[in-house]
Amino acid sequence: MERAKTIYPDRKEPSHQWRPICLRWGPDGLLYTTLGYWLTVIDPKTLNSQAFDETSLIAIGADGHIYYAKGARLFRMKCKGA
């Protein structure tokens, strides 16, 4: 490990006990994850992160968008640098 950073320091309860964390590299070189049940984008160069929405599953489409669900609703978000 070269560097580490705590993304959600206030979370004390474990997350993703029954479902693994999704980790996906976007076409923009950023890491998209469901860490803490949030769609979180992490810049691997700076380790800066930004949380967008609550979700536990994500997919990156060939069109450069992130797809995620909340209940029965499907959402689409453009990758930040795409």
Q: Where are the domains of the chain?
A: 23-78
What pLDDT score was predicted for residue 3? 81
| pLDDT computed for residue 13 by the predictor | 64
For residue range 10-68, what is the model confidence (pLDDT) as tens digits? 766 665 566 778 899 999 999 999 988 899 999 999 999 999 999 989 999 999 999 99
Residues 6 or more apart from 19 whose CB is under 8 A from it? 56, 57
CA 24 → CA 12, 46, 49, distances in Å? 24, 17, 14
Q: Which residue has the tokens 């560097």?
A: 3
